[in-house]
Amino acid sequence: MEQHEQVFDEYRKSHLKPLSEMTLEVQQWLAERKSMYWVAQRLKRKPQILRKLKRFSVRLTQLQDIGGARIVVNTNAEVESLLSFLKVQVSGHSTFSLKQIPDTKKLLTSDK
């Protein structure tokens, strides 16, 4: 059982490097803009991952949201402006994609 936990932990941890690289690149893109923003990233905690695996009866490698990043801005107008900006940035990038999720929030994901 301990070996399974180690594999689980390593798999989760393997998402940190591409997530951090993506977050840094996005922060570089945002440095060109003159508006205020906050960027945060996180890896989903182990208990949350286990709950999701049980709830959806899927394999660990099938989960698509082990890590994530968030950009917070002050106004809805800035959200729309930022989204347009990110669409342009992502369209020229080979390892990122911009995805829409059902509640119309936008999510930048790394395909690494």
CATH assignment of the domain containing 76: 3.30.460.10
Q: Report how far residue 65's alpha carbon sits from residue 18's, in angstroms, rounded to the nearest whole number.
A: 13
Please state, rounded to an integer, the average pLDDT across all residues of the chain.
83
The residue type of 64 is Q
Would you place residue 58 in the very low, low, confident or very high pLDDT band (cuts 50, 70, 90)? Answer: confident
User: Count of domains in the chain?
Assistant: 1
Instruction: Residue 43: give the domain boundaries.
Output: 2-110
Strands 96-100 and 106-110: what pairing? antiparallel
Give residue-wise pLDDT tens across range 9-45.
999 999 999 999 999 999 999 998 888 899 999 999 9
C-alpha 63: how far from its chain's center?
13
**pLDDT above 60 (res 111):** no
Asked if 86 and 107 count as a contact pair (C-beta separation under 8 A), the reply is no
pTM: 0.75
The Cα 68–Cα 20 span in angstroms is 10
